[in-house]
Amino acid sequence: MALLEIRNVTRRFGSFIAVNDVSLSIEAGEFFCLLGPSGCGKTTLLRMMAGFDAPDGGSVWLDGRDMTGVAPENRNLHTVFQSYALFPHMSVADNIGFPLKMAGIAPAEIKKRVDEALEDVSLTGMSSRYPNELSGGQRQRVAVARALINRPKLLLLDEPLAALDAKLKEHMQLELITLQKEVGIAFVYVTHDQQEALALAHRIAVMNHGRIEQLDEPSKIYSFPKNRFVADFIGTCNILEAEVAQTDSDRMRVRIPGLGEIVTLQTDDVQAGTRGVLALRPEQVAISAELTREQDRNHFGGKIFDFLYLGDVTVYVVELENGSRVEAMLPNSSPGRAKFFEPGDPVEISWRFDAGRFLTE
């Protein structure tokens, strides 16, 4: 039996359906991500898990118990809020000890456990500081320590790193991963940052318009997106209009209008004539100045339209014969050199047969 089960949960606000018949289960000890753009329903879903909102349909089960009608203070899970919600009029120690105080634990015991918690998040000595005296990163740690101190079954995190700058964010991401492993508690992490989700999670649920588009491990979602939305949302992706020309057992031929036919892996449930898109990751696209005509690869000719220097890689935008543009990403292996091709250079792009995926909407 899974730790947290969402069964056919629906939530409506007037005529707007925020969460649309969503089901998922979260196992004990896993780092689970709810990923999606703003308004996709992920925060609403989180709030229903926490108990701040009740589903209009379906139910939430924690540890085999139906949580319908159970108030937030009686659920054995805690939330780390986006704004951290540290009580400004209480010291760090009082903040962290708050759940224990609510549970009626003796003050001496509370002090002991708070000191331990402070050590766990590397904030020893900060117990009498106040939230407004702490930095963003420190506040975040206090919020996490506070939510973990009485060993809940599950920790819900609502975009906790959104307010931090890039460097700090990276650092905190690593800390969170380590923390989760140490503590062994299941984390349900809400974010709109797909990079973050890929980095942190054991499993990701990609949401859009209140539904789950795909639920899987990060690498599977990245490499085998189920539909156009997921392909586009996760990482960057080249999207080319395509039509199935001929299906086979493990490979199929797909026609790209204006360019020609390519070979790609067989997708389920399609037949000759099905329209869709070809999703192709830029790092899978190779560029060369000469025609290579390698086996096992699809080739097309074009010319460099533009490029974007990103430090570790350069993204080249190649314009193909049918006018469409494809991005190819090449590592910058030569120090000090921003690019290997100039705009206007004629080049050939190619990719492995199994690199691109044909997707219906």
Partner 1 sequence: MNRRSRFLWIASMFAFAFLYAPLVIVVVYSFNDSRLNAQWVGFTLEWYRKLLEDEEMLTAAWNSLVIGVSASAVATVLGTMAGYAMYRYTLRVLPILVVAPIAIPEILMGVSLLIFFVAINLTLGLFSIVLAHIAFCIGFVAIVVRARLAGMDDSLVEAARDLGATPYRAFRLITLPLIMPGVIAGALMAFTLSIDDFVITYFTAGAGAMTLPLKIYTMVKISVTPEVNAVSTLLMLLTLALIVIASKLSPGTLRGE
Q: Which residues in this chain contact partner 1 in the complex, by CB under 8 A?
A: 50-52, 71-73, 78-79, 81-83, 85, 87-89, 98-99, 102-103, 146-147, 150
Residue in 224, 228, 263 with CA at minimum distance from that of residue 246: 263
Residues contacting residue 189 through CB under 8 Å, at least 6 positions apart: 31, 32, 33, 34, 157, 160, 197, 200, 201
Task: Find the shortest distance in angstroms from Cβ 70 to partner 1.
Answer: 12
Residue 197 · residue 204 · CB < 8 Å: yes
Task: Find the shortest distance in angstroms from Cβ 177 to partner 1.
Answer: 23
Task: Find the shortest distance in angstroms from Cβ 130 to partner 1.
Answer: 13
**Tokens 């979602």 found at:** 221
Half-sphere exposure of 293 (CA within 13 A, CB side): 1
Task: Find the shortest distance in angstroms from Cβ 100 to partner 1.
Answer: 9
| H-helix segments, 133-207 | 136-148, 166-183, 194-200
Task: Find the shortest distance in angstroms from Cβ 317 to partner 1.
Answer: 43
Rounded CA separation 92/124 (Å): 11
* Nearer of residues 60 and 254 to partner 1, judged by Cβ: 60
User: Residue 134 CB: number of other CB atoms within 10 A?
Assistant: 18
* Nearer of residues 36 and 99 to partner 1, judged by Cβ: 99
* Nearer of residues 116 and 306 to partner 1, judged by Cβ: 116
Q: What single-letter amino acid sits at 23?
A: S
Task: Find the shortest distance in angstroms from Cβ 49 to partner 1.
Answer: 11
Q: 44: part of which helix (H) or strand (E)? A: helix 42-50
Residues contacting residue 248 through CB under 8 Å, at least 6 positions apart: 266
* Nearer of residues 103 and 289 to partner 1, judged by Cβ: 103
Rounded CA separation 321/240 (Å): 13
User: Residue 57 CB: number of other CB atoms within 10 A?
Assistant: 13
Task: Find the shortest distance in angstroms from Cβ 73 to partner 1.
Answer: 5
* Nearer of residues 123 and 270 to partner 1, judged by Cβ: 123
* Nearer of residues 102 and 272 to partner 1, judged by Cβ: 102
Rounded CA separation 106/146 (Å): 17
* Nearer of residues 51 and 225 to partner 1, judged by Cβ: 51
Residues contacting residue 11 through CB under 8 Å, at least 6 positions apart: 17, 18, 19, 41, 44, 45, 48, 53, 55, 56
* Nearer of residues 17 and 85 to partner 1, judged by Cβ: 85
Task: Find the shortest distance in angstroms from Cβ 83 to partner 1.
Answer: 6
